[in-house]
Structure formats: C-alpha cells, structure tokens
Amino acid sequence: MYTKKATFGTVALAGLLALSLGATACGSGGSASAKPVEAPIAMKGFSGDCASKDVFCVGLVTDVGKVDDKSFNQSAWQGAARAAVAAGGHAEYIETVDPKDYAKNIQSFLDRKADVVVTVGFAIGDATATAAKANPAVHFIGVDAFQATTIPNLTGLVFNEDKAGFMAGALAGLLTKTNVVAAVLGTDKVPPVVAFGKGWENGAKFTNPKVKVLTTYHPGGLDVAFNDPTWGAQTAKQALDNTADVIFGAGGKTGNGALLEVARQQGAYCVGVDSDQWETVPGARGCLVTSAEKDIEDGVATLIGQIRDGSVKGGNSFGEVGLAPFHDFEEKVPAAVKTKIEGIVRDIGSGKIPTGVN
C-alpha cells in the first residue's frame, strides 16, 4: 500500500510538472505572436508611493461593465488614464464581477491611498456616496450618477441627454421624407435614456411639425435592456415597416442592434448614441448619419484636472453633449439642413431653445 501511494505521488508530481512546463511553453510561444487582449489604454498600475503627496493615483471601478466595451466604460477609463498620465501619475481599474463587491472594490483603492476614485454607472452610485462620506480626504467622481444631495468630495458627472437627443431629432425632422421617424431605446427605468428619447421627439417636432415619432422602450429589466440586439433589430424592422426612415438607436447593444438592422435597408438613416458610433459600430456606417454624443472621456479628464488644481466642487458637473460628424453623409446632407442644424446646436447649447424635457 505504501508503494502504491509513493507511486501515485511521484507520478502525480511528474505529471504536474510535465503539464505545467508544456503549457508554459505553449503559452509563451503563443503570446509572442498573438498579443493578449489589451485594455484600450494599457493599465500601468500604481507604482511609487500613492500615499505621498507627489504621486498622483487614480483608481476606476466599473459597475458590471468592461473597460473595453467600446462605449460607456471605455470612454470613462480613457479619460481617467489620460488625465492621470497628463498629471505624471498612475491610473488603474477594477472591473466589478459581482455587484455585491462594489464597496470592496472601491475600498481596495482607498486602502492603497488613491487620490481620486472614479466609479462608472448609476448602479454603483450608492456605494460611491457611502465611501465618499467615510473618506473626506479622497475625491470621488461618479459617472452618470446624479447627486440629489451634495457631498463636498463627490462630483457626479452627468449630461443633458435631452439636449443631445433634441439636436439629433431636429436633424431627423429635416431629413425624413416620409415624415415618420423612430427611436429604439433601452429601458425607461433609466432616466438618461428617457431624456434622450423625449429630446429626440421634441427635436423632430421642432423642425418638422408634421412628423410622427414612433418611440419604443425595451420592456425588460436592467440586466437585459441594454444587451438585447435582437430585440433592437426587430423593433427597428417594425419601425421601417411603418415607413420610418430615420431611426435613433439608444441603449447599449440593444441600440446597436437597431443601427445594424437599419444599415441593411436602402435609403434609411440611423443615429447612434453616447460616443461617435461611426468609430465603434463600423457595421452601421451605411446608415449612420450622426450620433447623439455625450463626452464622457473629456468630462472625466476635466474633472480630474480640476481635482488637481483644487477648483473642483461637489454636487453635479454637466459634461458636454453634441452631434458627431456626418462622416460619409457629409455630401448627402443638404447645405441648408447643415446651416439650420448648426444654428439649433448653438441655441440648444446656450439654452436659447428649450428642449421641453422637464
């Protein structure tokens, strides 16, 4: 019996060794040719002593998103990394796997003496506020987290989505030939999505009083509403069947599904959301006339700059919104429409034209 055990032990050990050696060899060979998937800006990680006044450290925590999602989380991370590098400092991120770990993930940056903690998304807002109250010496930025009460060391980076939606809707009102436009949206449980939708509706009616706007919100919960490209495509198809010829897709992958469906149809336009989706959803280039943008990257970078020079304030900070370039449609959009839209964008920005939302 002892012999048996010894044999087992030796074989096991040899097996483990052989296996790990073999796998290592394959692994390193593979990594030379095919690079591992990298974050948009490679994470440098905290080095140096973050506790020291001279070393500037920024930590970013996502809610369940990924920093390479080609939109929301990615732009926030790019802003944080850019600002940290500009300040000669370091940036690092943690992607949350389990929503129960929000507080723990924020705390891990506090333990390592980060100067700024950026949290991305509405869902992680509660945990961020709690951490901010407990750590008055650290400044927090909550992307998309509207602050109902002001905490001096927590700034919510929020956007006037209604304005971006209005600008895009105004363009749609001018472009439509059938006088029917549509919006395929993520859930109405998320206020920014509703603001996009209402703004789109009012903008289209502002430039084209005869227009009919078909607005559809995803009926599902928060966990699926932004991840349902099939529903987005079906809903866009229905809108096309109802003669809509400019369609707004706003709601993560759900909205992307709508854009891709419209791209298959000749003669219809689509409008993207959040970032310039010409860059992030190349498959939609056939119809993508513009995107209703919110500039998360610059917003995060600007706030971090303000934290550096001490001018930052608690409460809410409104980031920039606007329309993305026309790209391929530069020629197709009539000059008169362009002039009119430029005026509307300016007047919406200055507040001269109210969006009529809230």
Partner 1 sequence: MHTDRLRPVLLPVAAVAVAVAIGAAIVLAAGASPVAAATAIWVAAFSGTDAIAATLEKATPLLFAGLAVIVGVRAGLFNIGAQGQLLVGAITSAYAGYRLAGLPPAVHLPLCLAIGILSGALPALLAGVLRATRGVHEVIVTIMLNTILVNLTDWLAGGPWMEQGQPVSRTPAIAGSARMARVAGLPVGFLLAVAMAFVVWFVLDRTTFGFRLATVGANRNAAHYAGISVAGATVAAMTLSGALAGLGGAVESLGIVGRFEPGFNAGLGFDGITIALLARVSPRAVIPAAVLIGALRASSTQLQARARLAPEIVDVVLAIALLLVAAPLILRWLLRLRPGSCRTEVQLTRGWGA
Which of 43, 333 has the CB closer to partner 1? 43
List the one residue from 36, 88, 209, 310 that touches partner 1 (CB under 8 A): 36
Please tell me whether residue 15 binds partner 1 under the rule CB under 8 A: yes
Say which residue the tokens 């919960």 belong to. 221
List the one residue from 73, 84, 92, 275 that touches partner 1 (CB under 8 A): 92
Instruction: Tell me the residue type at 321.
Output: V
Please tell me whether residue 54 binds partner 1 under the rule CB under 8 A: no
Residues 303, 305, 309, 312: what is their CA dihedral angle, to the nearest 10 degrees? 0
CA 267 to chain centre: 29
Gyration radius (Cα) of the chain, Å: 24
Tell me how far, at minimum, the Cβ of 96 lies from partner 1, in Å: 8
Tell me how far, at minimum, the Cβ of 169 lies from partner 1, in Å: 23
List the one residue from 6, 112, 342, 347 that touches partner 1 (CB under 8 A): 112
Strand spans (E) along the chain: 57-62, 90-94, 116-120, 139-143, 154-159, 180-185, 212-217, 246-250, 269-274, 288-294, 315-319, 321-323
Cα torsion angle, 296, 299, 303, 308, sign: positive
List the one residue from 70, 108, 179, 354 that touches partner 1 (CB under 8 A): 108
CA distances from 60 to 73, 96, 100, 340 (A): 10, 10, 17, 40
How crowded is residue 21: how many other Cβ atoms within 10 Å of its Cβ? 10
Please tell me whether residue 283 binds partner 1 under the rule CB under 8 A: no
Tell me how far, at minimum, the Cβ of 240 lies from partner 1, in Å: 28
Please tell me whether residue 64 binds partner 1 under the rule CB under 8 A: yes
Distance CA 244, CA 36 (A): 43
- Selected range binding partner 1 among 76-84, 99-107, 238-246, 327-335, rule: CB under 8 A: 99-107
Which of 28, 266 has the CB closer to partner 1? 28
Q: How is residue 41 written in tokens? A: 């800006």
Which of 190, 236 has the CB closer to partner 1? 190
Please tell me whether residue 105 binds partner 1 under the rule CB under 8 A: yes
Please tell me whether residue 8 binds partner 1 under the rule CB under 8 A: yes
Which of 193, 236 has the CB closer to partner 1? 193
Q: How is residue 199 written in tokens? A: 């703004």
Please tell me whether residue 227 binds partner 1 under the rule CB under 8 A: no
Angle, helices 335-350 vs 161-175, to 10°: value is: 160
Q: Are strands 154-159 and 180-185 parallel, antiparallel or unpaired?
A: unpaired
Which of 68, 330 has the CB closer to partner 1? 68
Q: Kindly state the number of chain residues that form the binding site for partner 1, as judged by CB under 8 A.
A: 45
The residues binding partner 1 (CB under 8 A) are: 1, 4-5, 7-8, 11-12, 15-16, 19-20, 23-24, 26-28, 30-31, 36, 43, 45, 64, 92-95, 97-101, 104-105, 108-109, 112, 122-123, 189-191, 220-223
